[in-house]
């Protein structure tokens, strides 16, 4: 029986490393796809909120009293800015700068809405239940707190979609931060994503 070549152990180690790399890459791509799918649902929920705000702003803009004209104009401008940033973020939804800009525009629009319609906002928890104000003593010092957002449209869809997106982003970011997968992420240039605050 002929002797095995000396290079066999290297070929076996190389094959194992290749299979491990492909498996780790596929896992990261599944998590990334999950975050992208969660963003698509979030985008649809935000578009519904935006449509609700724009329809209400159009009704209010027909004959507003003089002091409310500037508030209605601010709301219209903020909604238009959010619409523009939503369209831009769809191209690269996991890019932190895009999400940060969209988050800022969203909060500006929500603030403008609350100043114009203070009684027409509803706040939900991520599971869809109505939210109650939480005391800060409930959270450990330094812990990151994701407070519910008060939405114009009385629907829990936007807050639930935001919760799912943030959870998918957290899982993806945790996966690319661990040592063996960190090498795959570095080689394939996979960057951490940002949640929507």
Residue 16's pLDDT band, with cuts at 50, 70 and 90, is confident
| Residue 9: pLDDT over 90 | no
Contact 158, 45 (CB under 8 A): yes
Has residue 89 been placed in a domain?
yes
The C-alpha angle with vertex 180 and arms to 145 and 34, in degrees rounded to 5, equals 50
Alpha-carbon gap, residue 81 to 71, rounded angstroms: 15
Torsion of CA 197, 154, 87, 74, to 10 degrees: -90
Q: Report the predicted TM-score, pTM, of the whole model to 2 decimal places.
A: 0.79
The mean pLDDT of the chain is 81
Short-list 149, 170, 159, CA closest to 127: 159
What residues have CB less than 8 Å from 5, skipping those under 6 apart?
none
pLDDT tens, position by position, 123-165: 777 666 666 554 444 444 444 546 778 788 878 888 899 999 9
Instruction: Say if 28 falls within a structural domain.
Output: yes
- Asked if residue 63 is part of any domain, the answer here is yes
CATH number of 72's domain = 1.20.120
Contacts of 43 (CB under 8 A, 6+ apart): 86, 89, 90, 93
**For residue 46, what are its two tokens?**
């935000």
pLDDT 10s digits, 89-114: 999 999 999 999 999 999 999 888 88
Eight-class DSSP state of 119: T
Cα separation, 138 vs 64, whole angstroms: 43
Domain that holds residue 49: 15-130+148-187
107 within some domain: yes
Number of domains in the chain: 1
Neighbouring residues of 75: CB distance < 8 A, sequence distance ≥ 6: 53, 57, 109, 112, 113, 116
Percent helix, strand and coil across the chain, each to the nearest 5 = 65, 5, 30
| 156 is a domain residue | yes
Please give the pLDDT value at position 126: 65
């Amino acid at each position: 029986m002929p002797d095995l070549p000396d290079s066999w152990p290297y070929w076996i180690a190389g094959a194992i490393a290749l299979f491990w790399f492909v498996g780790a890459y596929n896992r990261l791509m599944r998590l990334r796809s999950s975050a992208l799918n969660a963003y698509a649902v979030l985008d649809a929920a935000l578009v519904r909120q935006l449509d609700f705000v724009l329809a209400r702003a159009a009704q209010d803009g027909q004959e507003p009293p003089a002091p409310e004209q500037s508030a209605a104009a601010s709301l219209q401008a903020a909604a238009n800015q959010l619409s523009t940033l939503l369209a831009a973020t769809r191209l690269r939804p996991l890019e932190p700068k895009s999400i940060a800009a969209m988050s800022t525009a969203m909060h500006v629009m929500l603030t403008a809405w609350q100043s114009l319609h203070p009684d027409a906002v509803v706040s939900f928890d991520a599971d869809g239940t109505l939210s109650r104000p939480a005391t800060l003593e409930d959270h450990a010092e330094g812990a990151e707190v994701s407070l519910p957002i008060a939405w114009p449209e009385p629907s829990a869809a936007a807050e639930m979609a935001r919760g799912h997106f943030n959870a998918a982003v957290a899982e993806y970011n945790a996966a690319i931060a661990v040592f063996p997968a960190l090498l795959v992420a570095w080689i394939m240039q996979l960057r951490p994503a940002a949640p929507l605050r």
